[in-house]
Structure 1
Amino acid sequence: MKIFSPLRLAACGLLLTLAACSDPAAAPAGSTAPNDSGTDTSAATAAVTAAKAPQTTWTGPTTPVTPPAGRRIVAITCGSQGYGCVQGARGVAAAGQVVGWDVSIVDGKGDPSVWNAAVTQAVTDRADGIVLAAINPALVQDGLAKAKAAGVPVVVQFIPELPGAKVDAHVTTDHLAGGKTLADWVIADSGGQAKVLLLEEPAFPELVRRNDGIRAQLQASCPGCTIVSTTKFSIGTMVQQLPGLVTTALQSHPEITHILAPFDSSGTFAAQGIRQAARKVALVSGEGDPDGLTRLRKGEQAADLATVPAWAGWAAVDQLARLFTGAAVQPHVLPQRLFTADNVPAEQGSWRGDLDYAAQFSKLWGK
């Protein structure tokens, strides 16, 4: 999805901060001392610097496994609107080629009834394994019950482990830590005086958890920061509704300095709302989609917390291989990296990670 026209805002694009438009990680020495709000932003600035650095530590499994050949896998996406879940499924297909598996991708169309039907159909078609890309297991319990009865393992991407419906393995990021990172950037960028509009998509637990991390860090570390408004929306209707919701919030709260969108596709429509309101605010979002990083390059967005959704596909294949062979499943926490205008990759597209995860997995699989 693309922004339909560029933002025509002067000077610092969408950025409006109380400490000018410079990157907080590059702030001059002494600029993070306690201010009138009583907030010492030095810890937040240090955290931002670390989050922006290359993430080169391998956090995946270290024990080799030999994937059995000839397995049939069905990867079900949350829908076609979410870049992350689509790329997560495509990562399953790419890794499947390496190990000789037949991978089918099903568009979940953003509809829990379609998700459940797709899981049930995969079991009926005698799939050997199922991958759910950003689909809450609690919303496909009927299908999961059929998969369990048939002995078909299920791996979930991006969703944290939750009480209730159980699956065989998870591949995800540390969403609470990601929320803390975003909050630290806002704290440092605003000099500890941010007035925040927080956008919420409550249907996705990982997004809820990230926003929980944002709230907790702002409350704990920034007495001068305030979430002045929250706006709920749905991924299924954000194209039509989110720009207007953001415009209304900005008109109702002229004090807003920062908008936090939960994922980059939603950031596209938040940016439209900012443009319609003719305001200068700092737009922040997550996941590192091509559109989000493009906005960073153009000065139309202030920060983006990126992950590598295709990496989750390779990790899911590794977990399925271990489930098929009876080996212990090894947890895999996907890396995250914070990007701003000064460290965003020059090449177009999404962040591909700072190490060759495909080579790491291929070595583990003896390929």
Structure 2
Amino acid sequence: MSAKGVGYESPPTSGPKPKAGKNIWVLSCSQSIPSCSYPAAQTVEAAKALGWGTTLYDTKLDPSRITEGYRQAVAAGADGIASYSMDCSISKAGLVAAKDANIPTVAAEALDDCGETLFSDIVSYTQGEFPAWWTQYGAAQATNVIVGTDAKAKVITINQVDFPMMMPTLAGFKAELKKSCAGCEVAQEVEFTVADIGPKLQEKVQQALVRNPDANAVYVVYDMLALGPDAAIRTSGRAKSLFVATAEGQASTMTELRSGAIQGAGVGIPQGWEAYATVDTLNRIMNGEKQAPSGMGLQAYDKTTNVPAEGRWEPPLDFKGVYLKTWGVG
């Protein structure tokens, strides 16, 4: 991929004036996991830029708490609800309550998998709706693995199976690996759920590495190395020989790549941009308008390319500056 990435364009440069005095609820998938807490914080930041009040609710990756979060937002008279990485199928009761109360709900990185439309909208990308973008994201991770192993990959995939939204990217990864690399294969699929995060997941990955001494690559569906896989890789003594297909580019992951603690490459996820697009869409819905094209695309990174000197990966455009100007607040 180029320095600009694939499909990145400007966020919307025109839009309705923000509705004053609104209060929204932000449902975090888990405040203990950076892949969830960062986009939640960015959503709060964007809403505050519009002068809106916010309530942050931690669902702790628990479907019952997801439903409770929506219901509490409804009871509190929220003007809108924003969520991240929570599919319709695990949020249905809460979404029904919000819809019945005429409260707009906008999600980022979620599947509309209820058989009926309950989300008011889901953030989209230049590649299309979330499933299309997410599938291409997985394919881009596979390309990284193919290049990083000289087309001789024997991959251990680490897949979370209790959230449906994880499935399209894994499918995209496996399809691209099969299509584009005759000398590549998936050596083993390690499946885990929320309950496994931590020592159990570490043990699962350790066992997979022992069973597959010729494995030369590890794929993670999101940047959860610190939740168990990283310790397993270090314990194996193979950190320097395994190519790690990293994901969105959390600060901890980028630090490990820059320092050489792990070898690999990833595909950035513009989580801050997704958050701002979520708030922008809520504002448009409140003004009787539809979602505007977000401009988000795909961009690969490694130790030397598309990586900042410090901190997390960031997308190739100043999306915040554009949104603030569009909203008339910057």
Query: Of 257, 275, 280, which residue of structure 2 is paired with 1:313?
Result: 275
Give CA-to-partner distance per residue, 1:124-145, whole Å, 9 cap, x none.
Answer: 1100000112112211211111
Would the aligned equivalents of 1:160 and 1:172 in 2 still touch at CA under 8 Å?
A: no
Q: What is the identity, as a one-letter code, of the residue corresponding to 1:139?
A: I
> What's the CA shift for 1:200?
0.5
Query: Of 66, 80, 85, which residue of structure 2 is paired with 1:115?
Result: 66
Aligned residue for 2:184? 225
Aligned residue for 1:275? 234
Q: TM-score, normalised to structure 2's length? A: 0.90
Aligned ranges 1:239-278 → 2 under 5 Å: 239-266=198-225, 269-278=228-237
> How far apart are the structure 2 equivalents of 1:348 and 1:172?
29
1:264 counterpart SS class: coil
> What's the CA shift for 1:60?
3.2
Would the aligned equivalents of 1:56 and 1:354 in 2 still touch at CA under 8 Å?
A: no
> How far apart are the structure 1 equivalents of 2:323 and 2:195?
35
* Fraction of identical pairs, as percent: 25
Residues 359 and 333 (structure 1), Cα distance of their counterparts in 2 relative to 1, 3 Å cut: closer
Aligned residue for 1:298? 259
Aligned residue for 2:49? 98
1:242 counterpart SS class: helix
> What's the CA shift for 1:76?
0.5
Give CA-to-partner distance per residue, 1:171-211, whole Å, 9 cap, x none.
Answer: 25611111111111111222221111011002233322111
Residues 163 and 125 (structure 1), Cα distance of their counterparts in 2 relative to 1, 3 Å cut: closer
Give CA-to-partner distance per residue, 1:200-239, whole Å, 9 cap, x none.
Answer: 0022333221111101101111111110100001234311
Give CA-to-partner distance per residue, 1:99-156, whole Å, 9 cap, x none.
Answer: 1100111111111101110100100110000011211221121111111111000011
Give CA-to-partner distance per residue, 1:341-367, whole Å, 9 cap, x none.
Answer: 112534322123222111111222222
Largest Rg, 1 or 2:
1
Q: Which moved more, 1:268-277 or 1:141-150?
A: 268-277
> What's the CA shift for 1:52?
5.2
Aligned residue for 1:289? 250
Q: What is the identity, as a one-letter code, of the residue corresponding to 2:170?
A: N
> How far apart are the structure 1 equivalents of 2:7 and 2:179?
29
Residues 283 and 268 (structure 1), Cα distance of their counterparts in 2 relative to 1, 3 Å cut: farther
State yes or no: 1:332 paired with 2:294: yes
Q: TM-score, normalised to structure 1's length? A: 0.81
Aligned residue for 1:348? 310
State yes or no: 1:128 paired with 2:79: yes
> How far apart are the structure 1 equivalents of 2:16 and 2:58?
30
Q: What is the identity, as a one-letter code, of the residue corresponding to 2:251?
A: P
2:328 counterpart SS class: coil
Aligned residue for 2:134? 175
Would the aligned equivalents of 1:79 and 1:109 in 2 still touch at CA under 8 Å?
A: yes
Would the aligned equivalents of 1:196 and 1:260 in 2 still touch at CA under 8 Å?
A: yes
Q: Which moved more, 1:172-181 or 1:311-320?
A: 172-181
Aligned residue for 2:174? 215
Would the aligned equivalents of 1:200 and 1:207 in 2 still touch at CA under 8 Å?
A: yes
Aligned residue for 2:129? none
Q: What is the identity, as a one-letter code, of the residue corresponding to 1:354?
A: P
Instruction: Tell me the matched-pair count.
Output: 318
Q: What is the identity, as a one-letter code, of the residue corresponding to 2:179?
A: A
> How far apart are the structure 2 equivalents of 1:333 and 1:358?
12
Would the aligned equivalents of 1:88 and 1:157 in 2 still touch at CA under 8 Å?
A: no
> How far apart are the structure 2 equivalents of 1:95 and 1:51?
28
Q: Which moved more, 1:264-273 or 1:207-216?
A: 264-273
Give the aligned CA root-mean-square deviation in angstroms: 2.0
Aligned ranges 1:29-68 → 2 under 5 Å: 50=1, 53=4, 57-68=8-19
In the TM superposition, structure 1's runs of 4+ consecutive aligned residues that sit over 6 Å from their partners are none
Give CA-to-partner distance per residue, 1:222-258, whole Å, 9 cap, x none.
Answer: 1111101000012343112111111111111111110
Q: Which moved more, 1:284-293 or 1:50-59?
A: 50-59
Would the aligned equivalents of 2:187 and 2:215 in 1 still touch at CA under 8 Å?
A: yes
Q: What is the identity, as a one-letter code, of the residue corresponding to 1:91?
A: Q
Give CA-to-partner distance per residue, 1:53-81, whole Å, 9 cap, x none.
Answer: 55794253344211111001000111123
2:230 counterpart SS class: helix
Unaligned residue ranges in structure 2 (runs of 5+)? 126-132
Would the aligned equivalents of 1:293 and 1:304 in 2 still touch at CA under 8 Å?
A: no
